[in-house]
Amino acid sequence: MVHAHGKIGFSQSYAKSVDKQTFVEHFKEVYPGVNLEAEYDKLVPADKAAPVKKVVKKGKK
Amino acid sequence: MSTALNQSICLQAGGNTGVGNCFINPKETIGAIILPPGTSFSGSSIATPSAFLAALITATMAPKKQRAYPMHDFQELKDGSESLTEQSFGYGGKAPVREGFFIWEFQYVKGGLCLSKSMRKFNNSNVDVLFVDAEGLVWGLKVGDTLQGINQSYIYSNPPKWNDGSKATAYTQKFVFKPQFLDSFGYIQLGAADFDQVQGLQNVVISSGGARVTNVSLLKANLSCGAESGADVFDLYSTELAAAANWIAKDAITNNVVAITSVAANNTIGGWTGTLDTGDANYNATHAVIWTFAAPTVLAGNSILGIESNTFQTPN
């Protein structure tokens, strides 16, 4: 039986603890038709990823 | 020359009787707040009337051992307080022996059998009580710089007297306490309607909305005293309760908290779908799971007011 869901309150801490694929796998049967990849992106924005470190070459002015 | 001969020392024990333009004169008592014994309001919580009101509201959501339980809408007082006990002597004289206890019995209508049933759980308990008058005066004892409830010899919720066709069902709540509070009368004046904001919690019964499938539970919730009006919790808070933070799931055997990965409003069952983290070390697919709402203070912080749930165990 497919259930009609209204608002879905995803746990942000769970989303942050797993990658997108695991997130989608976890929910795809419970919430079919929901764009789970987009939901993941809302919970774990890409700009929150660890910043890339700048490499500074020594001896160069 | 002065002498102490035949001079008895009689201190004048009376009090001055002058009165100003503003004096305390409590009006009819319209409510009461039942408190755990020893509860006191002090410091910033009584700095202003609004701070005190906020403290009372917070106290209604505290853990049960510290919780305040307000009663509203008293309709009538039957004052059965004892008169002064006097001794009469053979020569015709009399002397006071002791003052009687206050014995107050209030009748209420609002809340009916549900409230009566809840209040009967307090029968013979050791509790303190603040009373509230019709103009918002919340009164009890002034102990140092604190406001405390008046300790009760006992409180008792009588069995209701049933509606006989001419009178409404009579729900009555009795308070019995010593008169000594008069020497330490303490109060804070709130606005006349402020006490309406100090409401007790309503019980919510969580039940199954369908069979549990591995880590997915289907949950429904109804007010234990109000479902007959059709106002179940889904009607009130379907969206607000669709949040993992407003629920707690525990393993029924280990009692360990299991991480909730989502809670969704489920329009099909008029309840919620809850999912658990199968990767959580506390999750065990063969164990039953206990679901409950988060604490009332957590719910209130998320705009869900005045409810507390029981625990519901899904089968494994």
Of A3, A6, A9, the CB nearest to B262: A9
The pLDDT-based confidence of B279 (bands split at 50, 70, 90) is very high
pTM (2 d.p.): 0.85
Q: How many Å lie between the alpha carbon of B291 and the closest alpha carbon of chain A?
A: 16
Q: Chain B residues with CB inside 8 Å of A18's CB?
A: 279
pLDDT of residue A49: 45
Give the mutation candidate from A3, A16, A26 for the B interface (greatest B CB count, under 10 A): A3
B97-106, B223-232, B271-280, B296-305 — which is least confidently predicted? B223-232
pLDDT of residue B32: 98
Whether chain B has a CB inside 8 Å of the CB on A33: the answer is no
Q: What amino acid occupies position A25?
A: E
**Cross-chain residue pair A6–B266, CB shorter than 8 Å:** yes
**Cross-chain residue pair B279–A18, CB shorter than 8 Å:** yes
Task: List residues bridging with B274 in a β-sheet.
Answer: B217, B263
Nearest CA in chain B to A6: B265
The predicted-structure confidence for B54-109, as pLDDT tens digits, reads as follows 999 999 999 999 999 999 999 999 999 999 999 999 999 999 999 999 999 999 99
Alpha-carbon span B76 to B113, nearest angstrom: 17
pLDDT of residue B129: 98
The predicted-structure confidence for B211-269, as pLDDT tens digits, reads as follows 888 899 999 999 888 655 445 899 999 999 999 999 999 999 999 999 999 999 999 99
Q: How far is residue B51 from each of residues B23, B59, B62, B194, measured CA to CA in Å? A: 23, 12, 16, 12
- Mean pLDDT computed over B141-150: 97
**Cross-chain residue pair A27–B269, CB shorter than 8 Å:** no
pLDDT of residue A60: 46
Q: In terms of C-beta density within 10 A (0-12 exposed, 13-18 middle, 19 or more buried), how is residue B165 classed?
A: exposed
Of B246, B264, B277, the CB nearest to A31: B264
Instruction: List, as one string, the DSSP characters of B144-190.
Output: TTEEEPEEPSEEEEPPPBPP-SSS--BEEEEEEE-GGGGGGEEEEE-
Whether chain A has a CB inside 8 Å of the CB on B236: the answer is no
Q: Is the pLDDT of residue B46 over 80?
A: yes
Q: Chain A residues with CB inside 8 Å of B264's CB?
A: 5-9, 30-31
Ramachandran angles phi, psi of B220, nearest 5°: -125, 165
Q: How many Å lie between the alpha carbon of A43 and the closest alpha carbon of chain B?
A: 12
Q: Chain A residues with CB inside 8 Å of B243's CB?
A: 9
The pLDDT-based confidence of A59 (bands split at 50, 70, 90) is low
| Joined tokens for residue A51 | 């910043």
Of B218, B238, B275, the CB nearest to A6: B238
Whether chain B has a CB inside 8 Å of the CB on A14: the answer is yes
**Cross-chain residue pair B267–A7, CB shorter than 8 Å:** no
Bridge pairing between strands B202-213 and B307-309: parallel
Q: How far is residue B70 from each of residues B26, B119, B308, measured CA to CA in Å? A: 19, 10, 15
A8-22, B141-155, B212-226, B289-303 — which is least confidently predicted? B212-226
**Cross-chain residue pair A6–B265, CB shorter than 8 Å:** yes
